[in-house]
Structure 1
């Protein structure tokens, strides 16, 4: 078992960095990218990339730094914390989950609470799983105790979950695979390609979970010729689910999402590389979600972009599960793509003559 890779996964997923509060992840990515980069490139929101190579064309590999979470909106006189979402949550998965408030005096553990079912009337049961009816309990007696602990309105709140290797050691449980998966992939791909034929900008952007805002500023900063958004996909291999992507069957190439149609010529190039190297890939689509590829593709005169991911269980909750073999197959595919891209091939993809 590659313990160095597991340590990378653990450090990235343990980092608390919800949308709009990505500074800890920006610094952690810098620590990993700086030793393997010719140059570090950042924008004013905190997006960060390691640059390598001197090609006429460039490719941007973009994970996203942020994870879904919450922000403190009020503190009641009894010391309970009111909050609202940063990113999309299904309220049913939130009750009784542990969270971490990053306060002025350090991290504060809390739990999302609500009324117990014993005291709910019929109408109340229908409304129980609404964020407006929830609160965070940090175990204090009143508002002043919460303030003394360092809680303030505007503090970020992060889901709490430990990184764990499951019964089958290929299955890894953690918070924030969406999208520390993409951050890890960006780091390892840059490390594995010391002398690329084209210029690589590999890293991650801010605020994907809040309408993909960081992708706009990052694309403006990097100005890539091509781009691959590195993000998780939905796993259909659980009871009651149907779909195209199963854990253990390889990486996903996204055909279309709510904001973006994968660039057909670039997608065909990647598909051909996968076939050439015997890498099984899956194709999926998102009718109600998006990745950073959409805003990147709409930047400047248009940037050919696709999304590469892996099937992941329980995304947009406090914990999710990824298959390590899917991750390693995605890394193998990404490395093969980077190895075979040349300035001339990028010209052909842009001109759609590949």
Structure 2
């Protein structure tokens, strides 16, 4: 991964994007894609569509959702504490003790989420698993009036954003799910631009995946692709307590994961395997017996049906503030998808 691509990733991870509030991260996508794409546009839903060779054939859509899980201000009490609802699927236990930011019209407001100190907890308190409804955000105000002068009902909240490199080419950040997917599809489109594409490639940073696979539906309807590849994260199983017998063997740094199953067109899968072999690139294979819980489920069903592939980035500790991925896996995924797109022309047949 070159320095410009790495900076693009860091910029994505520092921009807030809870579902429904993706504008800051989409600004990053537009700025970067504008340096190479034939066309960059944003629809009224918020999807950013990046086109390379838009008059080519067939039409290929690359989808990576940019939204992350977050919180939303539901109530401000008279002491100035913020009570919240979840945007997407949180384990409330990972939120306790977190620094957070409330994203207001006038800028971010810092806060913390905590709970009653252990010294003051009863034996019953210590056994209780917290729920989102029991958590509050402390923004260090004097009272509710001051809080309401800073924060509005409906303002989104994220945990403290950032990026931290770890050993062995790994990196940790909140929002790896799925800003790395948006990074991958935009980076793949940039690499397609350097080649001689016959197909039209539309890389889409989709919105609102975490609350119902919404952005991919509207963007795919506009593009009307014949082929599609979805990039999302998948669970790395190379850490304690995860059963490989149930979830497969998926390791960080061993390559992107290519899925097989009814949600995946078998010819697309085989073409991806073929291209990985030509690149001598490591990939991991996993099975998916049902529709994916990501944008692939909806993309496959667009209009008359889309020949869909699913390429995933192994991710430890998904839906937490410390999601961990391999930078090499990201780079490999972008290169593999670019080579796939460059291998397709108007004579290609993806009939199962």
TM-score scaled by structure 1? 0.92
Deviates more, 1:247-256 or 1:115-124: 115-124
Q: Any residues of structure 2 matched to 1:1-354 within 5 Å, and which? A: 2-53=2-53, 54-148=55-149, 150-168=150-168, 170-194=169-193, 195-243=196-244, 244-256=249-261, 261-285=263-287, 290-345=293-348, 348-349=349-350, 351-352=351-352
In 1, the alpha carbon distance for the partners of 2:107 and 2:184 equals 30
Contact 2:72–2:87 at 8 Å: present in 1 too? yes
Q: 1:254 Cα deviation (Å)?
A: 2.3
SS class of match (1:24)? helix
Deviates more, 1:210-219 or 1:112-121: 112-121
Q: 1:126 Cα deviation (Å)?
A: 3.9
Unaligned runs of 5+ in 2: none
In 1, the alpha carbon distance for the partners of 2:81 and 2:288 equals 37
Contact 1:33–1:49 at 8 Å: present in 2 too? no
In 1, the alpha carbon distance for the partners of 2:70 and 2:105 equals 18
Q: 1:107 Cα deviation (Å)?
A: 0.3
SS class of match (1:248)? coil
SS class of match (1:95)? coil
Q: 1:285 Cα deviation (Å)?
A: 4.3
Over 3 Å counting, the alpha-carbon distance change for 1:318 and 1:285 in structure 2 is farther
Task: Give deviations 1:246-272, integer Å, cap 9, x for gaps.
Answer: 00110111235xxx6212221122122
In 2, the alpha carbon distance for the partners of 1:239 and 1:224 equals 40
SS class of match (1:193)? helix
Contact 2:255–2:329 at 8 Å: present in 1 too? yes
Task: Give deviations 1:165-185, integer Å, cap 9, x for gaps.
Answer: 2233x1111221111111111
In 2, the alpha carbon distance for the partners of 1:279 and 1:189 equals 15
SS class of match (2:330)? helix
Contact 2:83–2:137 at 8 Å: present in 1 too? yes
Contact 2:226–2:305 at 8 Å: present in 1 too? no
State the number of aligned residues.
344
In 1, the alpha carbon distance for the partners of 2:275 and 2:339 equals 7
Q: 1:286 Cα deviation (Å)?
A: 5.8
In 2, the alpha carbon distance for the partners of 1:315 and 1:18 equals 15
In 1, the alpha carbon distance for the partners of 2:234 and 2:285 equals 10
Greater than 6 Å deviation, 4+ residue runs: none
In 1, the alpha carbon distance for the partners of 2:128 and 2:210 equals 25
Q: 1:105 Cα deviation (Å)?
A: 2.2
Contact 1:215–1:292 at 8 Å: present in 2 too? yes
In 2, the alpha carbon distance for the partners of 1:337 and 1:5 equals 20
SS class of match (1:262)? coil
Contact 1:29–1:203 at 8 Å: present in 2 too? no
Unaligned runs of 5+ in 1: none
Contact 1:69–1:87 at 8 Å: present in 2 too? yes
Contact 2:231–2:313 at 8 Å: present in 1 too? no
SS class of match (2:339)? helix
Task: Give deviations 1:22-59, integer Å, cap 9, x for gaps.
Answer: 11122221111122111124322100111111222110
